[in-house]
A and B are shown apart, each in its own frame.
Chain A
């Protein structure tokens, strides 16, 4: 049981499934999901960029939906299932989206990459994007200051192609 308490301040008991493993936590109610993941859980794959919902680096999947973990109090998610980048794949068994990012060199510094990949996995599952323009619009919640956007869109298109969700390639980018 992870414990991140300070004495004499309010605490709550919650349970979360983290990458498939049910765990119990005693934590202060102001602990964000992001800080729980990166602190006591030592799952530092999820990145803290702006910490204000403006960059998407902290994107994780909560009950299958992508959200900004920096703007979620962990206590408000009691009972939920969380998937982070660590839960998508492993060095010996990459998720297809991770493979595609490697294949297409869809990063430079890599700091935004875990958030980009979690977001992209959700985008494919949501099924609202077909064209490249739609991919770009629906990935707009993930900023990449290195500017790897073209390759990120390429990687996502490849995954969608492989899954026979054929996006329409556009001449002008």
Chain B
């Protein structure tokens, strides 16, 4: 790790000011990704701003039935919170599908949104990588790309966002609350992360000096009609090759509201709300599930080694919709897929 200066912020305002004044600074919360990236010298901030003392740990009920999660609430605190388990079980399930208990204890809600890709070439400082060193090229295209994107990729970057939690948050129409030098604002979850475009170094739409203060989860009608299905190389403690967060509001055997978010397939948690709406009022059943899967994967493109992800995603979407429709969410302990 390269030397840096250390600054501890006691208030959100202090953190914003320090971040705005020091373009070379990074915020430190749980550190489970940042410290790792600093050890590899993938990132080498000149200043670390420790935000762990900011009053952003609380999980609070809001009058409209929404739940507000402070940016510094740990992944464990959120996953095991009784209100999250009862009203947002999809979120709890997705969090528990990721990382390990140790990492979930340290990792924070805001940090989970800001974690970087696990693309091998992003970590390998000897290799060209447009995300790490803009303009240097993409080593994954034509390289080892088994874990890479099948949707929304472009010639600049085919990396994927690694989060499980964010896939559930995308499905749940979460709102991201941020604060910056210009004041507070809200970002719809689907607008928070971005596709690589011509700036693969930018993972999200935060502006300079802005920090995430919390998330707001609106109430939802899904009950037990949800699932988080994660497919990976080993049963635990591994990133998703493909994951599906599915939730369906059903009335008399027909779809009222369909949500399908995909992880491990794109530069951001992937969701196609236009495609989802095409299936309103359709009858629940295998043929509908197959159509949904085909529709969501229109335009999917492999890079060679990850071609298998297209059929894997198709099958995972169908299985997830089956689980969600039946009200039998994937068990994250016994990993057998029903």
Number of A positions contacting B (CB below 8 A):
36
- Distance in Å from the Cβ of B61 to the closest Cβ of chain A? 23
Q: Which residue of B lies closest to A130 (CB)?
A: B333
| A141 touches which of B4, B101, B332, B333 (Cβ 8 Å) | B101
**Closest chain A CB from B14 CB (angstroms):** 16
Is the C-beta of B308 less than 8 angstroms from some C-beta in chain A? Answer: no
Chain B interfacial positions (CB closer than 8 Å to A)? 1-6, 8, 28, 31-32, 35-36, 38-39, 48, 50, 52, 76, 80, 99-103, 105-106, 235-237, 332-334
- Do B52 and A76 have beta carbons less than 8 Å apart? yes
A52 touches B5 (CB 8 A): no
Stretch of A65-73, A104-112, A155-163 on the interface side: A65-73
What is the CB-to-nearest-CB distance from B321 to chain A, in angstroms, rounded to a whole number? 25
In the assembled complex, the Cα of A149 lies from the Cα of B187 at a distance in Å of 44
* Interface of A, helix, strand, loop or mixed by DSSP: mixed
Query: A72, B31: Cβ atoms under 8 Å?
Result: yes
Q: CB within 8 A of B103: which of A12, A51, A68, A73?
A: A68
Most buried by B among A52, A76, A142: A76
For residue A20, CB closer than 8 A to chain B, the reply is no
For B35, list chain A residues within 8 Å (CB). 32, 70-73
Contacts A29-B6, A51-B39, A53-B36: A128 and B80 contacting too (C-beta < 8 A)? yes
Cα distance, A133 to B32, chains bound together (Å): 26
A56 interfacial contact with B, CB 8 Å: yes
CB distance from A25 to the nearest CB of B (A): 13
Query: Is B31's CB under 8 angstroms from A141's CB?
Result: no
A73 to B31: give the CA distance in the assembly, Å.
8
A137 contacts B39, C-beta separation under 8 Å: no
* A45 → chain B closest CB, angstroms: 17
Chain A residue at minimal CB-CB distance from B334: A133
Q: How far is it, in angstroms, between the C-alpha of A140 and the C-alpha of B31 when the chains are bound?
A: 20
Q: Taking A123-B101, A137-B332, A140-B237 as contacts, is the C-beta distance between A68 and B28 under 8 angstroms? A: no
Cβ-neighbour of A119 out of B6, B48, B99, B101 (below 8 A): B101
| B52 contact set on A, CB distance < 8 A | 76
B77's nearest neighbour on chain A, judged by CB, is A65
Asked, given contacts A10-B5, A29-B48, A56-B102, whether A76 binds B28 with beta carbons under 8 Å apart, the answer is: yes
On chain B, the residues within 8 Å of A134 by CB distance are 333
> Residue A59 at the B interface, CB < 8 A?
yes
Q: How far is the CA of A52 from the CA of B4 in the complex (A)?
A: 19
With a cutoff of 8 Å between Cβ atoms, the chain B residues found around residue A10 in the complex are 3-6
A71 touches B32 (CB 8 A): yes
| A171 interface residue per 8 A CB criterion | no
- Would A28 and B3 count as touching, CB distance under 8 A? yes
What residues of B have a CB within 8 angstroms of the CB of A52 in the complex? 36, 39
Bound-state CA distance A56–B1 (Å) is: 20
Query: Considering residues A9, A10, A30, which has the most beta carbons from chain B within 10 angstroms of its beta carbon?
Result: A30
Q: How far is the CB of B333 from chain A (nearest CB, A)?
A: 5
> How far, in angstroms, from A76 to B28 measured CA to CA in the complex?
8
Whether B48 pairs with A68 at a CB distance below 8 angstroms is: no
How close is B251's CB to chain A, nearest CB, in angstroms? 35
- Mark interface residues in A57-80 (1 if CB within 8 Å of B CB, else 0): 001000001111011110110100
Residue A17, interface by CB 8 Å: no
Distance A32 CA – B34 CA, assembled complex (angstroms): 13
Extra 14 A-B pairs, beta carbons < 8 Å, given A68-B32, A71-B36, A71-B103: A10-B5, A29-B4, A30-B1, A32-B35, A53-B102, A66-B101, A68-B103, A71-B106, A75-B50, A76-B52, A126-B101, A133-B333, A137-B236, A140-B100
The residue that B48 contacts in the complex, of A65, A72, A73, A78, with Cβ under 8 A, is A73
Q: Which A71-120 residues have C-beta < 8 A from chain B?
A: 71-73, 75-76, 78, 119
Nearest residue (CB) in B for A127 is B80
How far, in whole Å, are A3 and B2 apart by their CA atoms in the complex?
19
Minimum CB distance partner of B40 in chain A = A52
A138 at the interface (CB under 8 A from B): yes
List of B residues within 8 angstroms of A53 by Cβ? 32, 36, 102-103
Contacts of A142 in B (CB 8 A): 100
Cβ A67 vs Cβ B100 within 8 A: no
